[in-house]
A and B are shown apart, each in its own frame.
Chain A
Amino acid sequence: MSEVNAAPTRPGANGDVVIDVQHLTKKFDGRAVVRDLSMQVKRGTIYGFLGPNGSGKTTTIRMLCGLLTPDEGTGTCLGYDIRTQTDKIKTQVGYMTQRFSLYQDLSVRENLEFIGRIYGLENPRAAARAAIKRLGLSGREDQLAGELSGGWKQRLALGACTLPAPQLLLLDEPTAGVDPKARREFWNEIHALAADGLTVLVSTHYMDEAERCHEIAYIAYGELLVHGTVKHVIAASHLTTYVVSANSGALNELSQDLTGKPGVDMVAPFGTSLHVSGRDGAALEAGIAPYRRRADLDWKKSEPSLEDVFIDLMIKAQDNFK
């Protein structure tokens, strides 16, 4: 009988929602960095957290793992209260900080063993050895962590936060400054971990990475503006987009002409093409009509990219903020 009563406080018992927070607000010196943020993340999901610099991504992640106390709002992480049970949360969460935060003057192996000991692994040496092998760091285990290149540092950091086999991974811009190959390998790793039932919350600036997530959320000025699958987010934007191809001189000129025209909300260059988007389809059509007849420009209607959607959201949020 008592087990039934105890059930709701057990990790993951709350349906299969791993993160469940409502109306989180965090202020620094009276300035709200996160405002009224609510979100749910299900077990086994890779949840992408997107937003411009200073939008409150890191602050939200820190509130989830007990590094910051929310000023307002409530919620649970792995079934534990994020205000009162941070000690419990910390034992089950792997947190990869934005800045490399392992000991630069310890070797790869020493760093991993240290973490293994803190989390109380039975055999930290063996765990570290296994992790070194898994991460492909064999041969570098005695190198100082500070001497590793960016890609290897990131791999080590991922290995460190997964070492105690946590139930939830919080990754704060894990691929910033990492080359494309290492990034791809990193994401393959994340998907493999998620397939094993691990829940991953990952913040990023990269649109291609957003598309690798099961679900995404976009946050700007501390507010969660939209969330759902990539498809859902794009569809919900109601954005009409045209892709214009031409030589670069003509595009540059066109870009300047179109910016600020009624109906045209966004003009963004993408290499040899230009994305022209508007929230009101009819108004956009009217706005670009004079240019569509030009022979040197090739107009194509297309689906907006995730980046178009996000930049649009950001502009809207900025308008609301003013």
Chain B
Amino acid sequence: MSHIIPSETPRRRQGNGFWRKTWAVLIKEFIQLQRDRVSFGMIVMIPLMQLLLFGYAINTTPRNLPTAVLLQERSDVGRSILAAFANTGYFRVTELPATEAELDRLLASGKVLFGVEIPANFERALRRGEVPSMLVIADATDPVAAGSALGALNRVVQTALAHDYAIPDAGAPAFEIRTHARYNPAGKTELNIVPGLVGTILTMTMLIFTALSVTREIERGTMENLLAMPITPIEIMLGKILPYVVVGFVQAAMIIGVGIVLFHVPVLGSLFVLAGLSTLFIATNLSIGYTFSTVAQNQLQAMQMSIMFFLPNILLSGFMFPFAGMPVWAQWVGEMLPLTHYLRIVRSIMLKGATLSDLHYDALAMAGLMLVAMTIAVTRFRRTLD
């Protein structure tokens, strides 16, 4: 035991040693950073992800927006107009509904952002110089997405037609395009933002609540006690998720309430359906956070994973930038995120009065994501200390 004290007293440097001590801490921090592989990965991943997403996926003047065309007559002019629409680059005809009701449904469910209706006898009226009108309905819930496309519309279609049919482009247009900004005729951005915020805020808070729940038990040493008790991983998971469903519900109600009172955001659809699907969304995010918690080794890692998950949620879900304007790969990533589906749900219910049958795809997608997350969490949960 006497060997613990050094036989030769080590000499010490003179002076206060400000930089020496700073250096000592610096070395320690570097060693610790190097040990924490996840943090190290984040240093590389976060900027890369931001750059790639902003650079490639995000487009504030979105093109190729899904459009439904209702042709009441089959004519060359109609086809020509469709071609001109596509040539603008803004529209991509994805649906050809047969009735107005079908067109309305497509718009309400969010499958298309534009509906074009060419009435019967359009060509004949055009040839007679009667200046017939065609109808373009825009889903204006997101004024940004609809705005630039509508702006391009008049001019381009007109010139295309003049070119094709030698209809004199003598100042006065040969036909009229009547645009109808549906759902948000005044183009108020807050009508789009407030429902979106419900989803974004819920994502952030719910993730953090559960992302820390398992790692906290491990870090505080209470996990050993919990594992030694007769309780199963599913019981632990549900017990940890359910209280926050209530918390999330209160939070959602608060945001929606403030939105209604201060920003006059309407709730055209059923509040009951909105509440039910919001609860599903809350539970989905809690499950994902909980999954991070079972994978992460400490609270810091769990937080970092949450941020990594939150970032694409903000950028690729259609919250900040129009979903339809993103490239296909980014849309696929977006489909994997619960926020994408919830944004469609919350906007459709509040602004379009959509019903559950309009939204069943998004509701099922969220439920699916929740089940996947829960399955991963339960299988990842370590029942022993092995």
Binding site for B on A (CB under 8 A): 62, 65-69, 87, 90-91, 93, 95, 97, 99-104, 115, 118-119
Q: Which residues of B contact A68 (CB under 8 A)?
A: 384-386
B227 CB-CB contact with A under 8 Å: yes
B231 CB-CB contact with A under 8 Å: yes
B224 CB-CB contact with A under 8 Å: yes
B219-234 contacts to A, CB under 8 A, are 220-225, 227-231
* Structural contact, B229 and A101, CB atoms closer than 8 A: no
Query: Separation in Å of the A260 CB from the closest CB of chain B?
Result: 14
Q: Which residues of B contact A100 (CB under 8 A)?
A: 221
Other A-B pairs, 14, CB within 8 Å; known A101-B224, A102-B222, A104-B220: A66-B384, A67-B224, A67-B227, A69-B386, A87-B230, A90-B230, A93-B228, A97-B224, A97-B228, A101-B223, A103-B220, A115-B229, A118-B230, A118-B231
Q: Which residues of A contact B384 (CB under 8 A)?
A: 66-69
Q: How far is the CA of A104 from the CA of B221 in the complex (A)?
A: 10
B146-184 contacts to A, CB under 8 A, are none
* Structural contact, B230 and A95, CB atoms closer than 8 A: no
User: A91 touches which one: B224, B227, B230, B386 (CB < 8 A)?
Assistant: B230
User: A118 touches which one: B222, B229, B385, B386 (CB < 8 A)?
Assistant: B229
Sample (19) of A-B pairs whose CB atoms are under 8 Å apart: A62-B385, A66-B228, A66-B384, A67-B224, A67-B228, A67-B384, A68-B386, A69-B384, A87-B230, A97-B224, A99-B221, A100-B221, A101-B221, A101-B224, A101-B225, A103-B220, A103-B222, A104-B220, A118-B229
B174-227 contacts to A, CB under 8 A, are 220-225, 227
Mark each residue of chain B from 48 to 89: 1 if its CB lies under 8 Å from any CB of chain A, else 0.
000000000000000000000000000000000000000000
Q: Which residues of A contact B386 (CB under 8 A)?
A: 68-69
Q: Which residues of A contact B227 (CB under 8 A)?
A: 67
* Structural contact, A95 and B221, CB atoms closer than 8 A: no
User: A90 touches which one: B220, B221, B228, B385 (CB < 8 A)?
Assistant: B228
* Structural contact, A97 and B385, CB atoms closer than 8 A: no
> In the complex where A67-B384, A67-B385, A68-B385 touch, is A95 in contact with B231 (Cβ < 8 A)?
no
Q: Secondary structure of the B side of the interface?
A: loop
The number of chain B residues with a CB under 8 A from chain A is: 14
Query: Separation in Å of the A165 CB from the closest CB of chain B?
Result: 14
Q: Which residues of B contact A97 (CB under 8 A)?
A: 221, 224-225, 228
Q: Which residues of A contact B229 (CB under 8 A)?
A: 90, 115, 118-119
Q: How far is the CA of A62 from the CA of B227 in the complex (A)?
A: 11
Q: How far is the CA of A50 from the CA of B345 in the complex (A)?
A: 63
* A105 nearest CB neighbor, chain B only: B220
Q: How far is the CA of A66 from the CA of B229 in the complex (A)?
A: 10
Query: Separation in Å of the A116 CB from the closest CB of chain B?
Result: 11
Q: How far is the CA of A90 from the CA of B230 in the complex (A)?
A: 5
Closest 7 CB pairs of A and B: A101-B225, A90-B230, A95-B228, A91-B230, A99-B221, A101-B221, A97-B224
Mark each residue of chain B from 222 to 255: 1 if its CB lies under 8 Å from any CB of chain A, else 0.
1111011111000000000000000000000000
Q: Which of B223, B225, B228 has the most CB of A within 10 A?
A: B228
Query: Separation in Å of the B284 CB from the closest CB of chain A?
Result: 27
Q: How far is the CA of A240 from the CA of B227 in the complex (A)?
A: 46
Q: How far is the CA of A65 from the CA of B384 in the complex (A)?
A: 10
* A70 nearest CB neighbor, chain B only: B386
Q: Which residues of B contact A69 (CB under 8 A)?
A: 384, 386
Query: Separation in Å of the B5 CB from the closest CB of chain A?
Result: 15
Q: How far is the CA of A222 from the CA of B205 in the complex (A)?
A: 46
Q: How far is the CA of A87 from the CA of B222 in the complex (A)?
A: 19
Q: Which residues of B contact A66 (CB under 8 A)?
A: 228, 384
> In the complex where A67-B385, A68-B385 touch, is A101 in contact with B222 (Cβ < 8 A)?
yes
Query: Separation in Å of the B285 CB from the closest CB of chain A?
Result: 24
Query: Separation in Å of the A145 CB from the closest CB of chain B?
Result: 10
Q: How far is the CA of A95 from the CA of B222 in the complex (A)?
A: 12
Q: Which residues of A contact B220 (CB under 8 A)?
A: 103-104
Q: Which residues of A contact B223 (CB under 8 A)?
A: 101
Q: How far is the CA of A67 from the CA of B220 in the complex (A)?
A: 17
Q: Which residues of B contact A87 (CB under 8 A)?
A: 230
Q: How far is the CA of A65 from the CA of B224 in the complex (A)?
A: 11
Query: Separation in Å of the B323 CB from the closest CB of chain A?
Result: 42
Q: How far is the CA of A7 from the CA of B385 in the complex (A)?
A: 31
Q: Which residues of B contact A103 (CB under 8 A)?
A: 220, 222
Mark each residue of chain B from 364 to 386: 1 if its CB lies under 8 Å from any CB of chain A, else 0.
00000000000000000000111
Q: How far is the CA of A101 from the CA of B385 in the complex (A)?
A: 14
Q: Which residues of A contact B225 (CB under 8 A)?
A: 95, 97, 101-102
* Structural contact, A119 and B221, CB atoms closer than 8 A: no
Q: Which residues of A contact B231 (CB under 8 A)?
A: 118
Q: How far is the CA of A95 from the CA of B221 in the complex (A)?
A: 14
User: A65 touches which one: B221, B222, B228 (CB < 8 A)?
Assistant: B228
Query: Separation in Å of the A322 CB from the closest CB of chain B?
Result: 18
Q: How far is the CA of A282 from the CA of B385 in the complex (A)?
A: 49
Q: How far is the CA of A116 from the CA of B252 in the complex (A)?
A: 34
Query: Separation in Å of the B223 CB from the closest CB of chain A?
Result: 8
